[in-house]
């Protein structure tokens, strides 16, 4: 029982990475992302990556869509489906070489309420939660990239022949 509680508590702690990956994360600079949700996502990523002297630049574009679905015979119930898509590219700052890129998305749905204020607050909260979730997805993808054998071979120290 104690083990289950520990696992549940640990699951809520967010993404944790290995020391090797954390060292590479400190070399990533996050580019500006437009709109308020982008600023929040950039701040969160910068906090998580803790850049020191960046070697890489992380560029992200966000696309937000919402779809409305009227339900019932009288169409009085309205559901909104929110989709947020993040496309990212990790580039070497010096060479401008694309190291890796990817795309991830989040989906949320909620019923509309008659109150404009409630709708506005709920929409903002969903968008903020989506940005944080996408940031965690991107961090996880970057961790997999930095742990991949292809990256390790590419960044192996050069040896010289003694002669």
Q: CATH number of the domain that 140 lies in?
A: 3.30.160.150
Q: Is the pLDDT higher at 89 or at 1?
A: 89
Domain limits for position 21? 17-148
Q: pLDDT by residue (tens digit) across 104-153?
A: 999 988 887 777 887 888 888 888 898 899 999 999 999 999 888 876 66
pLDDT band (50, 70, 90) for residue 58? very high
pLDDT at 151: 67
Q: How many domains does the chain have?
A: 1
Residue 4, domain member (yes or no): no
What sign has the CA pseudo-torsion 117, 33, 85, 150?
negative
pLDDT at 90: 94
Stretch 12-23: mean pLDDT: 66
Q: Is the pLDDT higher at 77 or at 106?
A: 106
pLDDT at 100: 92
Q: 118-126: long-range contacts at Cβ-Cβ below 8 A with a sequence spacing of 24 or more? A: 123/80, 123/82, 126/82
Q: pLDDT by residue (tens digit) across 81-112?
A: 889 999 999 999 889 999 999 999 999 888 87
pTM above 0.85, yes or no: no
Q: Is the pLDDT higher at 94 or at 160?
A: 94
Residue 51 has pLDDT above 70, yes or no: no
Residue 156 has pLDDT above 60, yes or no: no
């Amino acid at each position: 029982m104690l083990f289950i509680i520990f696992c549940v508590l640990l699951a809520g702690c967010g993404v944790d990475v290995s020391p090797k990956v954390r060292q590479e994360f400190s070399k990533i600079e996050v580019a500006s992302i437009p709109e308020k949700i982008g600023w929040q996502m950039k701040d969160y990523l910068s906090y998580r990556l803790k850049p020191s002297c960046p070697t890489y630049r992380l560029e992200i574009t966000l696309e937000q869509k919402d779809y409305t679905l009227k339900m019932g015979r009288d169409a009085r119930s309205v559901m909104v489906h929110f989709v947020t898509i993040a496309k990212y590219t990790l580039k070497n700052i010096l060479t401008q070489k694309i190291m890796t890129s990817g795309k991830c998305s989040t989906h949320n749905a909620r019923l509309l309420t008659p109150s404009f204020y409630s709708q506005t607050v709920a929409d903002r909260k969903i968008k903020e939660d989506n940005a944080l979730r996408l940031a965690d997805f991107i961090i996880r993808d970057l961790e997999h990239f930095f742990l991949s054998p292809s990256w390790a071979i590419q960044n192996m120290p050069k040896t010289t022949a003694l002669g």
